[in-house]
Amino acid sequence: MARACRCTTPTTSPRTPRAWHSTIAPAWRIRTGITQGDTRLHRGGQLALALQQAGADSVDFATIWGQGHTMAELTGTGKENFIAWVTKQASS
């Protein structure tokens, strides 16, 4: 049992596939609706924290009140806001 557990940990297994070692994108934008029913409420926050701990330079995370599993935005559309965010990231 101990051997099986040791081998499933990507950082300690001598048999870790090379694909498990990757470089994350430096900037992330995460929006989630607070009333979504498809995933647990804390998953977005966990993802944001994991990205920060993994070395992401910028993690823009927000939970949007009153929206479910959708392209949740406070104002505007998801497409417009995402394009504006990408443009800002590219210029910085």
- Confidence (pLDDT) at 87: 93
N- to C-terminal Cα separation, the chain: 49
Question: Is residue 65 pLDDT above 70, yes or no?
Answer: yes
Share in percent of the chain as helix, strand, coil (round to 5): 40, 15, 45
Instruction: Specify the amino acid at residue 92.
Output: S
d(CA 70, CA 64): 10
Among 9-18, 30-39, 69-78, the minimum mean pLDDT is found in 9-18
Mean of pLDDT over the chain: 76
Contact between residue 40 and residue 32 where contact means Cβ atoms under 8 Å apart: no
Question: Is residue 40 pLDDT above 80, yes or no?
Answer: no
Tally Cβ neighbours within 10 Å of residue 90: 8
What pTM value is reported for the model? 0.62
- Confidence (pLDDT) at 12: 47
